Amino acid sequence: MTFSRGFHGRRRDDVDPARVPPGQYVTEDFPVLSAGPTPHAPLESWSFSIRGAVDEERSWGWDELRALPPETVTVDIHCVTKWSKLDTSWTGVSLDTLLDGIDTSAEYALAFSDGGYTTNLPLGDLKDGKAWVAYEYGGEPLDPEHGGPARLLVPHLYFWKSAKWVRGIELRADDEPGFWEGYGYHNYGDPWKEQRYAGD
Amino acid sequence: MERTAVRGRLTWRHARVVELIDETAGVRSIVLDPPDWPGHQAGQHVDVRLTAEDGYQAQRSYSIASAPEDEHLVLTVERLEDGEVSPYLVGELRVGDELELRGPIGGYFVWDVPLGGPLLLVGGGSGVVPLRAILFHRAALRSTVPVRLLYSARTLADVIYREELIGVEADHQGADIRITLTREQPTGWRGYTGRIDRALLEEVAWAPSERPLTYVCGPTGLVEATASALVDLGHEPSRIKTERFGPT
Amino acid sequence: MAMLDGNAIAGQLYEVFGAEMTTVAGVCAYCGARHQLGEQYVYLRGPGTVVRCRSCQSIVAVLVEIRGCTCVDLQGLAEIDLRRA
């Protein structure tokens, strides 16, 4: 392989390696990656629902979601396309708050978004302070191109699981692969085990 | 599956940089000497790949600025402020370095004399690059297909290929060159001002009844606005080809 | 904006098919519109490349590269015309 003399790229190399999962590069940017056009759902008709293996579907309109107790968290995020961004700040409602009081025997969840995107994960990975419906990034309302008005935030998994423009989660007894999972990406996606593709 | 390079298939090759030309403040042309270059069509592009010492790679596509008849392969690159590849190509690359590229690629956004005209070329910023290739290919073949170029830049200093397009000795076989400067105009400026919009297109574009072949290239906003305005004015969507430049 | 024209993946398509594919015409399975691949919308640099119909934005193709092999899903196309446009 020949090298391009003097090329380094926009990577940061001054970070604690313990914070960088295998195969990742740290960036200062916030790349915009998407599978389709940015939806523009009017807030008046926006809702987040929990449905599926529940006795009763639960739904929150925008104002109702914003009325729930928010949390602000600072987390590192890791995209399967190899960039990682450290110390990102988000504000949103914890899935623990949203799932509170919901009785279910479901073990899996399928998150769904405006535009048709889906991603699956074990229900347990949405609980215990591991996931949020985030509506602010860096103290500002979440930009539509980054998933606003609200996106799922599940930082302990590769960022394709943090569904942009999220509109709800479907609780399921069986595991249903989401969009990228169906094309061969790893069903779980732990960056620390470098679970990028099925079979990793 | 073992990958072997088959001659004739699209393979990565190394081209030596023979000259660097500063076109404007943030834009540079890279003159290359690729081995066994098969030739290209006006409007095509190449993929460029940079590899850091630790193996990290970044890849981008750049339109070919040179006409097929020109002596060397030329790429013109605009430095993007938050770019990863463009600052290297515009700021760091030196004569004598090797650049890894593959191509030429792209059969959709090409023009050749048999496709006819009249031709309308609309470009914004570095979107003028593939349009230059088309313009000078037409001139090289001494084609009489009528062509009009509408080029949008922020200031006169930002007009890429300024001398070639509107300089005193500019010779492009009777092409009608129209420039609009959006941010600042020099004293006595007799060209257009402001962004390309429906009103400007109505004035500059061929009448829809002439069924022009249109190539629009540049930032997404300009491409979208131009394509919709032309369709609004009655031009056939199938005769409007677009190439959006965007951060990737 | 993440969206570009199909021409932006000309190189990737050439690698997969061994031929220039941007002038190949396809019919959208959702709305029936016929477009050359070069004029469709592409969404790049994600876990995969998504190609959407220029007329209705439905997905016409998805390309995913995994372990050096590219999977091409063309189920969004009702028809492909391999004759050169």
Identify from B48, B92, B99, B244 which residue to disrupt to test chain A contact, counting A C-beta atoms within 10 A and taking the largest count: B92
Q: How much is the pLDDT for A153?
A: 98
Judged by a CB distance cut-off of 8 A, whether residue A7 touches chain B is yes
Partners of B16 in the beta sheet? B33, B98
Residue numbers in B near A4 (CB within 8 A): 50-52, 88, 97-100
In B, minimum Cα distance to C44 occurs at B248
CA distance B99 to chain C (A): 17
Residue numbers in A near B81 (CB within 8 A): none
Residue A117: pLDDT over 90 = yes
Evaluate whether B18 touches B24 at the Cβ level (below 8 Å). Answer: no
In this prediction the pTM is: 0.88
Chain A residues 16-35 within an 8 A CB cutoff of chain B: 25, 29
Please judge whether C47 and A80 are an interchain contact, meaning their C-beta atoms are less than 8 angstroms apart: yes
Residue numbers in B near A5 (CB within 8 A): 94, 97
Chain B residues 74-133 within an 8 A CB cutoff of chain C: 102-103, 105-109
Rounded to whole angstroms, the Cα distance separating B159 from B40 reads 25
Which residues, other chains included, contact A197 with Cβ-Cβ below 8 Å and sequence gap of 6+?
A: A184, A185, A186, C66, C67
Partners of C6 in the beta sheet? none
Peptide bond into B87 cis (omega under 30): no
Alpha helix ranges (H) inside A11-50: none
Cα-only R_g, chain C: 12
Render pLDDT for A132-161 as a digit per residue (tens, 0 to 9).
999 999 999 999 999 999 999 999 999 999
Tokens of residue A4, six digits: 């391009």
CA distance B238 to chain C (A): 9
Please judge whether B88 and A25 are an interchain contact, meaning their C-beta atoms are less than 8 angstroms apart: no
Give B113-245's CATH code, choosing from 3.50.50.60, 3.30.9.10, 3.40.50.80, 3.40.50.300. Answer: 3.40.50.80
Domain A21-30+44-193 classification at class level: alpha beta
Which of A4, A11, A25 is closest, CB to CB, to B50? A4
Residue A162: pLDDT over 70 = yes
Judged by a CB distance cut-off of 8 A, whether residue A37 touches chain B is no
**What average pLDDT does the structure give for chain A?**
95
Secondary structure string (H, E, C) spanning B159-225: CCCHHHHHCCCCCCCCCEEEEEECCCCCCCCCCEECCCCHHHHHHHCCCHHHCCEEEEEEEHHHHHH
Give long-range contacts, CB 8 A cutoff, 24+ apart: A93-96.
Answer: A93/A65, A93/A68, A93/A69, A93/A132, A93/A133, A94/A129, A94/A131, A94/A132, A95/A126, A95/A127, A95/A130, A95/A131, A95/A132, A95/A133, A95/A169, A96/A127, A96/A128, A96/A129
Residue numbers in A near C57 (CB within 8 A): 36-37
B192, amino acid identity: Y
Give long-range contacts, CB 8 A cutoff, 24+ apart: A189-193.
Answer: A189/A80, A189/A121, A189/A157, A189/A158, A189/A160, A189/A161, A190/A156, A190/A157, A190/A158, A191/A21, A191/A22, A191/A24, A191/A78, A191/A84, A191/A157, A191/A158, A192/A21, A192/A22
Of the pLDDT bands very low, low, confident and very high (cuts 50, 70, 90), residue C2 is low
Of the pLDDT bands very low, low, confident and very high (cuts 50, 70, 90), residue B5 is very low
Cβ neighbours, 10 Å, residue B21: 12
Residue A13: pLDDT over 90 = no
Which residues, other chains included, contact C18 with Cβ-Cβ below 8 Å and sequence gap of 6+?
A: B9
CA distance C13 to chain B (A): 10
Rounded to whole angstroms, the Cα distance separating B56 from B164 reads 38
Please judge whether C2 and A183 are an interchain contact, meaning their C-beta atoms are less than 8 angstroms apart: no
Render pLDDT for B62-110 as a digit per residue (tens, 0 to 9).
999 999 999 999 999 999 988 899 999 999 999 999 999 999 998 899 9
Provide the ipTM: 0.92
Across the range B161-185, mean pLDDT stands at 88
Please judge whether C68 and B244 are an interchain contact, meaning their C-beta atoms are less than 8 angstroms apart: no
Please judge whether B9 and C3 are an interchain contact, meaning their C-beta atoms are less than 8 angstroms apart: no
Tokens of residue A50, six digits: 């929990």
> What fold does the segment set B13-105 form as a domain?
Elongation Factor Tu (Ef-tu); domain 3 (2.40.30)
Neighbours of chain C (3+ CB pairs under 8 A): A, B
Which of A4, A10, A25 is closest, CB to CB, to B51? A4
A141, amino acid identity: P
Render pLDDT for C28-66 as a digit per residue (tens, 0 to 9).
999 999 999 999 999 987 899 999 999 999 999 999 999
Tokens of residue B228, six digits: 């919709």
Evaluate whether A147 touches A159 at the Cβ level (below 8 Å). Answer: no
Residue B3: pLDDT over 60 = no
CA distance C82 to chain A (A): 25
CA distance A5 to chain B (A): 7
In B, minimum Cα distance to A29 occurs at B82
End-to-end CA distance of chain B, in Å? Answer: 29
Torsion region of B158: left, alpha or beta (phi above 0 gives left; psi -120 to 50 gives alpha):
alpha
CA distance A200 to chain C (A): 11
- List the domain boundaries for chain C: 3-81
Which of B14, B82, B84 is closest, CB to CB, to A9? B84
**What average pLDDT does the structure give for chain B?**
92
